[in-house]
Structure 1
Amino acid sequence: MYCLLPIWRPLLVTAVLTIPQTAIAHPDLAEFETTAFTEEPSIVDCILANGEQSTCYEITVGYLPEGLEIGPFCPRHLSDEGGIWNWTGENAKLYRIDENFLRMLDDLGYRFFDEDGTVHVVDIATQQPSVDHACINVSPAKDVTISMLLPVNPVTADQPTPLGTVGKVGVALNGVPIFSDAPSIQQTGHMPALDTCGGHIDPGGWYHWHATSTDIETTFEAANVEATCALEQRSSALFGYAFDGFAMYGSTDSDGTMPVYLDACNGHVGRTIRGADYHYHASEDFPNLPPCLTGVQATDNFSTTATAGIGAIRAGEDGRNEPPRPDSGGQGPMPQAFDDAATALGISIDTLMEALHSSGQGHPNLAVAAQTLGVTEDALRAVLPPPPEQ
């Protein structure tokens, strides 16, 4: 049974709809900006998460698209104005990071500034916070590249895949990777500030988004936030492709009307400039991204040349690039205990290992890994196997 909603709101369907094969459109690399890739994309053999052999587009992008304006992130002083943050505690909503917001957090027991108004700003790529609450502002690493896989022919999953916190969502048309919601202050104590397009820099030094940035001002209007994104705002525009290969659009259909009969992942079969096909829509609430994916991703679909952060890799004994084992510097097979830990946390083994690898060099920093995963350090420590005796 459907609920009756005001006609200007999208109708939501709580279950994921069966998608007709005729409504499945493959990613079109011609839609990407010409400067998005650092090398020519190719088609490679890949394995989907359901075990199927398939083919994927392999695309490689840089740490930041050419000409993209980013920032501000953390304000240096209470008198400055930073980016944005989606506060999920008391008085929950999207805020501009300014004096009013930081003083509200202070009243709630989260002090992000000194008595003189200097904001606690930390670059976690070079140091760990020495205070309980810091604003995270990472420096870029201009030599880093990111490689991603998109299925050439999307395949629908038996069940949708929840994205949770810092889940891999997809890639924008300018090459910027897209991830689900950043870890909350309540989970980590710290605030990895987003700029006014909803992005920030990973500990590996590359920029990514936590929002449908070409329609983010729709969320600003809904939350009464005074901010603008330097990108052109078009609520009906194609934003990018999810990692299952399905397209991602803004909050309205191609004719400017609100989409109807959206499924649990904020997707539907509707008319686009490419015809009637299945695609996702942004929401009016931040983060305005799909909460889940209806299709199947490729395994090992995200890696970087960075030495830290999500997707950082190194060569194992067999010469393959793989996340290092946190207990042995990256060598040898994955112990079953880590599979069990991932299951206990409700995440994939790839997500767990990426978080552990990105948190330290050889020896993971569990506080940072827990922050990445959106859990407490105690919860993470409780499910991980003990390190081997030295």
Structure 2
Amino acid sequence: MTRSTGIRPFALLVALVVATPAFAHPDTGDFVQSAFLLAPEIVGCTLEDGTQTQCHKITVGYLPGGLKIGLFCPATLDDAGGIWEWTGENSGLYRIDGDFLRMLDGLGYRFFDDDENVYSVDNATERPTVDHACINVSVDESVEITMLLPVDPMMAVTPTQLGTVGKVGVALDGVPIFSDAPSIQMTGHMPALDTCGGHVDPGGWYHWHATSTDMATVFATEDVDAVCALEQNASAQFGYAFDGFALYGSREPDGSEPAGLDQCNGHVAPVADGAEVYHYHARETFPNLPPCLVGVQAQGNFTTTATAGIGAQRAGQDGRNEPPRPEGGAGGMPPDFEDAAVVLGVAPQALLDALGGPGQQPDLATAAEKLGVTEEALRDALPPPPNP
């Protein structure tokens, strides 16, 4: 649905939020308390702009107790798995089933063998041996995740675009939230999402790429035959963004349609207790997370005890004796991309962002200029492109 309301200028939003700071604080009491491995505490922290302040420190596990996840990859073309947003020809949100995979095959992306068995890879223990595989990662129950949320959120000078695998925030049940997973065109593979929009990182912990408590709105809008098992409520608060501002579904707490949303899909408006507070809203189409964050995040706001993925502690640093899981980014970012980033001396996320968003063909000359390297060096460092 296209909203007819105007977009509120960012500078005006900054003024409005600064004028109402008492209502902008995240509250750890809003979370499901059983999600915490340790009691939340307030610690000193440094924001990305250098501001010294205080943050809520919360520690959660690989998966909240009782949360049912999956299905992700179907076993055969006769089965139905999770969902995927395809960004090429015939773009849209799809259930991962035989019709979708045959459509991809017609476009040159074959995810199944001659017996119609789907190529599926556990990115925690193995690497794909085919050009196109469905990624289905196993969990690591030992993983702990530590996150920081500013006690007093601050508006940034300009919004931060989230891009691919950007850190969005944390849901009220303790599940981390990230922006778009790498596209099939970028990696060759499909890190399948379940019908609540989540999957397991190569580090072994579950996270979402969607406002999962408002997936019913998305499925209705995009005409997808799927159901998220979580309780659906388009008016409920879903979590907090890493800048400290709240994340809501596609409706206001009173059920009305949000008005005056900014470029990050947020605005200042009354919430459940009637306070005028800046908060984000889900979109009605997938991906339904904010495309950017208006506030300043804390440095080092996401760390894990895993040996792979975003926020990971590398092998030998966590005191565990088991073999490390293959390195890779959240959502199935292949290890070769992290290797290329090391060779180039840049962050893996910066490399992905420079190469373009999901579905875009990378412009190596432009990407090299953004990264401050030569086009030849970039070309030599990158893994060979997947065969379509």
TM-score, normalised by the number of residues in structure 2: 0.82
C-alpha distance in 1 between matches for 2:315 and 2:42:
23
2:52 matches 1:65: no
Matched-pair contact (CA < 8 Å) for 1:236–1:250: yes
C-alpha distance in 1 between matches for 2:98 and 2:350:
25
2:22 matches 1:12: no
SS in 2 for 1:111: coil
C-alpha distance in 1 between matches for 2:211 and 2:142:
26
Letter of the structure 2 residue corresponding to residue 69 of structure 1: K
SS in 2 for 1:35: helix
SS in 1 for 2:160: strand
SS in 2 for 1:216: helix
Letter of the structure 2 residue corresponding to residue 235 of structure 1: A
In structure 2, what is the equivalent of residue 199 of structure 1?
198
In structure 2, what is the equivalent of residue 281 of structure 1?
281
SS in 1 for 2:102: helix
Deviation track 1:90-140 (CA, whole Å, cap 9, x = no partner) reads 111100000110011011110000111100101111111111110001000
C-alpha distance in 2 between matches for 1:372 and 1:125:
22
SS in 1 for 2:99: helix
CA shift, 1:53, in A, is 0.2
Matched-pair contact (CA < 8 Å) for 1:159–1:294: yes
2:132 matches 1:153: no
C-alpha distance in 2 between matches for 1:15 and 1:158:
9
TM-score, normalised by the number of residues in structure 1: 0.82
SS in 2 for 1:175: coil
C-alpha distance in 2 between matches for 1:95 and 1:178:
21
Equivalent residues in 2 for 1:125-274, closer than 5 Å: 125-274=124-273
C-alpha distance in 2 between matches for 1:384 and 1:175:
38
Same amino acid, percent of matched pairs = 60
- Structure 1 window deviating more from structure 2 (363-372 vs 146-155): it is 363-372
CA shift, 1:292, in A, is 0.4
Deviation track 1:311-336 (CA, whole Å, cap 9, x = no partner) reads 102599xx9x9xxxxxxxxxxxxxxx
Change (3 A) 1:51 1:385: farther
CA shift, 1:366, in A, is 3.6
C-alpha distance in 2 between matches for 1:372 and 1:146:
24
Matched-pair contact (CA < 8 Å) for 1:144–1:305: yes
Letter of the structure 1 residue corresponding to residue 276 of structure 2: A
C-alpha distance in 2 between matches for 1:56 and 1:207:
23
Letter of the structure 2 residue corresponding to residue 304 of structure 1: T
SS in 2 for 1:284: coil
Matched-pair contact (CA < 8 Å) for 2:201–2:329: no
In structure 2, what is the equivalent of residue 74 of structure 1?
73
C-alpha distance in 2 between matches for 1:364 and 1:118:
30
In structure 1, what is the equivalent of residue 20 of structure 2?
23
Letter of the structure 2 residue corresponding to residue 284 of structure 1: E
CA shift, 1:12, in A, is 3.4
Matched-pair contact (CA < 8 Å) for 1:43–1:56: yes
C-alpha distance in 1 between matches for 2:207 and 2:268:
28
CA shift, 1:286, in A, is 0.6
Change (3 A) 1:315 1:298: farther
Matched-pair contact (CA < 8 Å) for 1:80–1:99: yes
C-alpha distance in 2 between matches for 1:360 and 1:132:
15
C-alpha distance in 2 between matches for 1:360 and 1:131:
15
Change (3 A) 1:314 1:367: closer
In structure 1, what is the equivalent of residue 298 of structure 2?
298
Deviation track 1:347-375 (CA, whole Å, cap 9, x = no partner) reads xxxxxx978xx8659x9544995899364
Matched-pair contact (CA < 8 Å) for 1:197–1:211: yes
In structure 2, what is the equivalent of residue 373 of structure 1?
352
Matched-pair contact (CA < 8 Å) for 1:187–1:371: no
SS in 2 for 1:40: strand
CA shift, 1:18, in A, is 2.3
Change (3 A) 1:185 1:133: same
CA shift, 1:156, in A, is 0.4
Which stretches in structure 1 are left out of the alignment for 5+ residues? 322-352
Letter of the structure 1 residue corresponding to residue 52 of structure 2: Q
Which stretches in structure 2 are left out of the alignment for 5+ residues? 319-327, 343-347, 356-361, 382-388
Matched-pair contact (CA < 8 Å) for 1:200–1:208: yes
Change (3 A) 1:191 1:73: same
